[in-house]
Structure 1
Amino acid sequence: MLSARTGVPVRAVRTRQCAAFQSASRRAVVVRAAATTADLQKQFGIPGNVEFVDGKAGTPTVVLKHSSGSSAQVYLHGACVTSWKQASGDEVLYVRPDAVFDKSKPISGGLPHCFPQFGPGPIQQHGFARNLDWEVGSTSADLQPDERDPEVELVLTENDYTLKMWPHKFKAVYTVTLHGEQLRTDFRVINTGDAPFTFTAALHSYFEVLGVTKAKVSGLKGLTYLDKSKDPKNPESKTEERDAVTFGEGLVDSVYLNAPEHVELDVGTGAAIAIDATGWQDVVVWNPHLTMKECYESFVCVENAKTGEAVTVAPGDSWRATTNFQVVDL
């Protein structure tokens, strides 16, 4: 359980090292996701920083380890971050007890992808990115005077399965980095076809909380939001008048439009998760309440999204969104 860390300073964002230093610690050459864990470790592993291991059900994962003591684990299936631990060992993310890891369905928890569709629509729920194997594009651990930032870049491109439901050529590139105890994500979508395409997307972020009634989200007051709790297909448009969004009295399923780049989730322990995003534009707040009786009290979803207004990308162009997560004391 994530707890307050009194007296622990927030690390400043540092610039990347020059290309010469990066090349010294970067492993690149795309390998198919079907490669064995041993193959991935041999080609992309970086001792002490990036390790490929078998996750649950034998599914390949990559573990990032920072010299500060923080760590993250990413499953290649769905490019899903399932663990982000602080140096203290406290887990920040939440994986539901009904999650499966045998690739029969998307992983329920952590940071799943919603692409190229958020929510229900003409194709399958939340798109296809979360239930496909992504390829390893590269790994790195930037050389620093005092510490390294371990990183993995994962890549997804079209295949027969995706083309049947979404007839477009694309390249999605997802980079996960540990910078001290911060978790950073960078999501890029490139149009590799000869016609424009349109999509919506989100990071369906699950965070562990001390208790759902103790959790609250700040930074959304005054925004217009779509309340989907009663009828997801015909949501009510409302204005958020509360200083903080709270939970526990019923299903919460709200899409906040044109949200600020910074919001915070108070997890109820004296600590909060600060979420700083660019490019995503919207924020989705969700808790299933009694529709998931066995676990709803333990997590809240605060999701960076691009859904109020769809993205259109011309041939050869790209779209990019980033999110930095860090734990702060309240």
Structure 2
Amino acid sequence: MHKMVTVGALPAVSINMADGAEATITLYGAHLTSWKTADGRERLFMSSKSPLDGSAAIRGGVPVIFPQFSTRGTGQRHGVARLSHWRLAESGGEGPTAWAEFELTEADVPAQLAKGWPHAFTLRLRFTLHAESIEMSFNVRNTGEQDFDFACALHTYYALEAFEHAALEGLESGDIHFKEKLDNVYRAPAEVTLLHTGAGALRLQQQGFTEFVVWNPGAEGAAALSDMADEEYRQFVCVEPAKVDKKALAAGAEWTGLHTISLIP
């Protein structure tokens, strides 16, 4: 089941399992800020300098990117979803799972942001928690009378004990052994494995997305970010299921992407 909590100054929803697994999602951005497996270990990175008052995007966890990835377009960088206040639509618990679903429509987007992307839509993002995994189902529906183009991503920051000792396996282009800053886009297989995250590796699975974006700013990049401590780049890597280039969604149509993260003991 769920309970209402706060993350910094932000209202949030916590879902948890009897075995100790827990996830926390802020209404601001429908942003997953914490995911703990049953062993109590935090699996996501959150910057110690991230604002947690709604004044700016949250740095860490899982920012929701929609309808533009980065600066690949003329609109708001990384879109409006992570800067808007979502609503808790549904929640529940069914046997070995607990879940919460959040909703955002064009009416929820701040007016100054809506001007740059004036389309009717409904986003629904469901987080389903299991003892050793979490599933994110991201649904985009065009509720308007005109087609629109959109891109999206679930910009996941994974906690690492040491960036330079971690690796990503399973990409068609070969495995990545992290050594320096990177910002690369790869065609997304159904599954990749993130090694050296601490206690156990993580299996990352996706359906519906077309790319994995792998990002870390490196030492120089982290020093230039006001919302990240200089040495924190060594504590995470982003591996993001994404649709980085905008594609058309017809009026009345919908798209769903699924992202599942599972612990490999």
Please report the TM-score for the alignment, with normalisation by the length of structure 1. 0.74
Q: Counterpart in 1 of 2:157?
A: 206
Deviations along 1:123-176, whole A, 9 cap, x unmatched?
A: 12101110111011111112x3xx4x2111101110334430101100000001
Identity, % of aligned pairs? Answer: 35
Q: Counterpart in 1 of 2:5?
A: 53
Say which SS state the counterpart of residue 115 (structure 2) adopts: helix
1:139 and 2:70 matched? no
**Per residue, is there more strand in 1 or in 2?**
2
1:300 and 2:229 matched? no
Provide the C-alpha distance between the structure 2 equivalents of 1:199 and 1:183, rounded to a whole number of angstroms: 25
Provide the C-alpha distance between the structure 2 equivalents of 1:61 and 1:113, rounded to a whole number of angstroms: 15
Provide the C-alpha distance between the structure 1 equivalents of 2:114 and 2:26, rounded to a whole number of angstroms: 23
**AA aligned opposite 2:99:** E
Per-residue deviation at 1:270? 5.9
Per-residue deviation at 1:98? 1.8
Provide the C-alpha distance between the structure 2 equivalents of 1:255 and 1:69, rounded to a whole number of angstroms: 35
Deviations along 1:279-303, whole A, 9 cap, x unmatched?
A: 0121000111011132111101111
Count residues in correspondence.
Answer: 253
Deviations along 1:170-214, whole A, 9 cap, x unmatched?
A: 000000110222101000000010000011110110001110111
Please report the TM-score for the alignment, with normalisation by the length of structure 2. 0.92
Q: Counterpart in 1 of 2:63?
A: 112
Unaligned runs of 5+ in 2: 223-229
* 1:263/1:274 contact within 8 Å kept: yes
Deviations along 1:295-317, whole A, 9 cap, x unmatched?
A: 1111011110011x433111111
Deviations along 1:217-249, whole A, 9 cap, x unmatched?
A: 011133xxxxxxxxxxxxxxxxxxx4x21222x
* 1:261/1:281 contact within 8 Å kept: no
**AA aligned opposite 1:323:** H
Provide the C-alpha distance between the structure 1 equivalents of 2:147 and 2:12, rounded to a whole number of angstroms: 33
Q: 4+ residue runs of structure 1 moved beyond 6 angstroms?
A: none
Per-residue deviation at 1:72? 0.4
Q: Counterpart in 2 of 1:20?
A: none
Deviations along 1:63-96, whole A, 9 cap, x unmatched?
A: 0111222000001101100110011111100001
* 1:100/1:108 contact within 8 Å kept: yes
* 1:208/1:267 contact within 8 Å kept: no
Q: How does 1:170-209 map to 2 (within 5 A)?
A: 170-209=121-160
Paired residue for 1:126, among 58, 67, 78? Answer: 78
Say which SS state the counterpart of residue 295 (structure 1) adopts: helix
Q: Counterpart in 1 of 2:263?
A: 327
Q: Counterpart in 2 of 1:251?
A: 181
Unaligned runs of 5+ in 1: 1-48, 223-241
Between the two structures, name the one with larger relative contact order (CA 8 Å, sep ≥ 6).
2
Q: Counterpart in 2 of 1:154?
A: 102
* 1:255/1:283 contact within 8 Å kept: yes
* 1:247/1:287 contact within 8 Å kept: no
